[in-house]
Amino acid sequence: MTRMPLSATEDDNQDERQGSWPYRVHPTGWFQIGWSADIGAEQLVSLRAFDSDLIAFRDPAGDVRVLDAYCPHLGASLAHGGTLMGGNIVCPFHGWEWSAEGKNVRIPYSKTVNRAQRIRTWPAREIDGLVYIWHGPDPLSPTWELLAIDQVIERAGFADRFHGRPVDDLRTWPEARLHPQFITENIVDHAHFHWVHSTRGPTDLHEYESDGVFFQVRHRFPGQGDTRLMILASGVGVQVWENMRYVGRPPLVPEEARAFKALRKWASQFYDDDVAN
């Protein structure tokens, strides 16, 4: 599994590309750490996210569990030689067993268990074939839940007009380094549709609304009637996101300013460090 490009500090060019980015912390929320198919039954998968080494596996019920990778006893990596037994993780170094909740449940050469030690667990969800973990100020208590794509479509009132997902066209850019907010900002960026997605001109962004963790926009596409828009994160989009420099106070024209401002204000709720945007 590839490493998630979430940390700007990993980027050689970080000072330059950071631009006037106003936050010091990772945003709060659910982050994809892999695909359902990456985590088979009886398999301990090693991964890295949020500057932490982690393991992922399926418990006997098939639910994905994610824990820190290191055994609290003497520090062995459970990702290297650890095994699964009856839903517990067995450390390769001295055989201590840890439950999916991170509790020590057996020490093979002792009558006791160590109740004080815990392996950190990460809330995990699996939706539409994607696996997510929660990252937030209270690491154990997600403050909102993800929706499946079908639920998103329904919430937006598009169930009757949704043309389905071309799953065969799935493409990924596992090495791309970009901030999740760059992608989100595109939804209010009415001018980019022409340049990046080949619409006939800028769209008419006639409605936008923030509602808790949701931000909904409605665009009219020029001269295209009831458009079937497939936003397949195009290579052009990724190239822009990967190489752009964030502009904290952009010189927006009146046609784009209000929606951008609303979106950035909405996005600020996901950062815990209260830096003015």
For 184, list phi and psi in degrees, rounded to 5: -60, -40
Size of the site for ligand FES (CB under 6 A): 9
For 182, list phi and psi in degrees, rounded to 5: -60, -40
Residue selected from 39, 45, 71, 217 as contacting ligand FES according to rule CB under 6 A: 71
The answer to whether residues 137 and 96 touch, using CB atoms and an 8 Å cutoff, is: no
If one asks whether residue 93 binds ligand FES (CB under 6 A), the answer comes out as yes
Select the span of 29-37, 89-97, 191-199, 216-224 touching ligand FES (CB under 6 A).
89-97
Decide which of Fe ion, ligand FES, none touches 79; Cβ closer than 5 to 8 Å per partner kind.
none
Decide which of ligand FES, Fe ion, none touches 74; Cβ closer than 5 to 8 Å per partner kind.
ligand FES
If one asks whether residue 186 binds Fe ion (CB under 5 A), the answer comes out as yes
Burial label for 90, CB within 10 Å (0-12, 13-18, 19+), is: buried
If one asks whether residue 54 binds ligand FES (CB under 6 A), the answer comes out as no
Residue selected from 76, 89, 188, 217 as contacting ligand FES according to rule CB under 6 A: 76
Decide which of ligand FES, Fe ion, none touches 186; Cβ closer than 5 to 8 Å per partner kind.
Fe ion
For 151, list phi and psi in degrees, rounded to 5: -70, -35
For residue 145, what are its two tokens? 């839940």
Q: In angstroms, what is the minimal distance from the CB of 177 to Fe ion?
A: 18
Q: Look at residues 26, 105, 38 and name the one whose alpha carbon lies nearest to residue 66.
A: 38
Residue selected from 19, 42, 74, 245 as contacting ligand FES according to rule CB under 6 A: 74
For residue 117, what are its two tokens? 């030690």
Residue selected from 48, 83, 94, 102 as contacting ligand FES according to rule CB under 6 A: 94
Q: How far is CA 176 from CA 31, 88, 92, 116, 179, in A?
A: 15, 35, 34, 40, 10
Between residues 91 and 196, which has the closer beta carbon with respect to ligand FES? 91
Cα–Cα distance between 212 and 149 in angstroms, integer? 18
DSSP H or E stretch at residue 251? none
Radius of gyration of the chain (CA): 22
Q: In angstroms, what is the minimal distance from the CB of 174 to ligand FES?
A: 31
Which residues sit at the interface with ligand FES, rule CB under 6 A?
71, 73-76, 91, 93-94, 96
